[in-house]
A and B are shown apart, each in its own frame.
Chain A
Amino acid sequence: EVELVESGGGLVKPGGSLRLSCEVSGFNFNTYTLNWVRQAPGKGLEWVSSISGGNTYIYYVDSVKGRFTISRDNPKNLMFLQMNSLRSEDTAIYYCARTGGFRAFDIWGQGTKVTVSS
């Protein structure tokens, strides 16, 4: 079964750090681009970051550039989002999602909640 499972969320103070993980199973991990998408409480979806299968292409939304780092460990079927200098506006549920055929985000995890508050 194809599955993405996020972990690592929690409560952190402004300026703090968190590392999110996305564990993948059920498909050939190396060949797919993976993404982080977030959703602030009561708000819509926001694409955050993408990483290609071979780590060649990495992109970020402007609001996290210089603070967040996406990475992946292909042998372990894991993707990460290192989040530093966290702000209250980073509070959200963070989803990992696969870019499938035709560039659609076809498989999503259940999300992990990040709360930035003093």
Chain B
Amino acid sequence: DTQMTQSPSSLSASVGDRVTITCRASQNIRTYLSWFQQKPGKAPKLLIHTASTLQKGAPSRFSGSGSGTDFTLTINSLQPEDFATYYCHETHGTPPYTFGQGTKVEI
């Protein structure tokens, strides 16, 4: 099974900041990596799939990069509505499909 190590677990930032979240897979997952945003009491929302492709409707200030084992989610010019928890998720091969532990982005 693939393990996903996401860091940091939380971070403090201000509106307008650039924020970077990383995820490391325990084995090569190629680009089968998604990023989700989750706000309290809501379902997760897909932001990025295949490591770097912006999901339709997601703001262009979100970007993803990486392949193999190391991946990054970047939020350029953080907006008030971006304060949330972010998860990476691998879907390589057959299940189980593991999520990262989450990163809470706070003011």
Contacts and interface: CB of A to CB of B under 8 A. Distances in A.
Interface residues of A, number: 24
Contacts of A103: 32, 49, 91
11 contacts: A35-B97, A44-B102, A45-B99, A47-B96, A95-B43, A100-B49, A105-B91, A106-B55, A108-B43, A108-B44, A108-B45
A47 B95 contact: yes
A95 B43 CA distance: 8
Contact of B91 (A44, A104, A110): A104
B35 to A, nearest CB: 9
A109 interface: yes
A11 interface: no
Contact of B34 (A44, A104, A109): A104
Contact of B50 (A47, A50, A102, A109): A102
B96 A59 contact: yes
A52 to B, nearest CB: 11
Interface of B: 32, 34, 36, 38, 42-46, 49-50, 53, 55, 87, 89, 91, 94-102
B104 to A, nearest CB: 10
Nearest to B51: A102
Interface in A91-116: 95, 99-106, 108-111
Given A44-B102, A45-B102, A46-B99, A105 B87 contact: no
Interface of A: 35, 37, 44-47, 50, 57, 59, 61-62, 95, 99-106, 108-111
Nearest to A109: B43
Nearest to B38: A45
B7 to A, nearest CB: 13
